[in-house]
Amino acid sequence: MKVTPSLCAALLVVTSATALRAEPDPRWLGHDRERPMAPVVTPATPSTQEQPGKAPSDATVLFDGKDLSAWAAMDGTPTKWVMKDGAMECVPGSGYIRTLQAFGDCQLHIEWAAPAKVEGDSQGRGNSGVFFGMGRYEVQVLDSYESKTYADGAAASVYNQYPPLANATLPPGSWQTYDIIWTAPRFDDAGALVSKARLTVFHNGVLVQNNVELTGPTAWIGRPPYSAHPLRLPLALQDHGNPVRYRNVWVRELGQPRHKEFTLPEALLASYVGEYGQNGKPHGKVSRLPNGLLAVTVGGVELEMHAASPTHFYALTTDVQVEFSEGGKKLAVTVGEEFSRAMRWERISP
Q: Which residues bind Mg ion (CB under 5 A)?
A: 127, 129, 140, 238, 240
Shortest CB 334 distance to Mg ion, Å: 44
Report, in Å, the least distance between residue 131 CB and Mg ion: 9
Q: Give me the least distance between CB of 194 and Mg ion, in Å please.
A: 28
Burial class (CB in 10 A: 0-12, 13-18, 19+), 157: buried
- Dihedral angle at the C-alpha atoms of 162, 20, 232, 128, nearest 10 degrees? 20
Give CA–CA dist 65/105, Å, rounded.
Answer: 25
CA distance 134 to 261: 14
Dihedral, 187, 190, 191, 194 alpha carbons, nearest 10? -30
Min dist CB 240 to Mg ion, Å, is 5
| CA–CA dist 121, 149 (Å, integer) | 8
DSSP helix/strand/coil, 152: helix
> Shortest gap between Cβ of 272 and Mg ion (angstroms)?
35
Closest to Mg ion by CB, 123 or 311: 123
* Cα three-residue angle 210-61-145, rounded to 5 degrees: 45
* Least distance in angstroms from the C-beta of 127 to Mg ion: 5
Query: CA 237 to CA 242: how far, in whole Å?
Result: 12
At 250 the three-state DSSP class reads strand
Q: Which residues contact 38 (CB under 8 A, 6 or more apart)?
A: none
Of 129 and 257, which has the nearer Cβ to Mg ion? Answer: 129
Task: Give the sign of the dihedral formed by CA 287, CA 290, CA 292, CA 297.
Answer: negative
Residue 134 or residue 295: which is nearer to Mg ion going by CB?
134
Residue 207: CB minimum distance to Mg ion, A: 21
Are the C-beta atoms of residues 208 and 166 closer than 8 Å to each other? yes
| Least separation in angstroms between CB 82 and Mg ion | 19
Helix, strand, or coil (residue 273): coil
Q: Rounded CA gap, 338 and 5, in Å?
A: 18
Instruction: Specify the residue, 141 or 333, whose C-beta has the smaller distance to Mg ion.
Output: 141
Nearer to Mg ion, 141 or 286 (CB): 141
Kindly state the smallest distance separating residue 163's Cβ from Mg ion, in Å: 14
Distance of CA 62 to the CA centre of its chain: 11
Report which residue's Cβ sits closest to Mg ion: 129
Comparing CB distances to Mg ion, the nearer of 49 and 94 is 94
Are the CB atoms for 170 and 204 separated by under 8 Å? yes
Choice between 143 and 261, CB closer to Mg ion: 143
Residue 158: how many CB atoms within 10 A of its CB? 23
Of 161 and 238, nearer to Mg ion (C-beta) is: 238
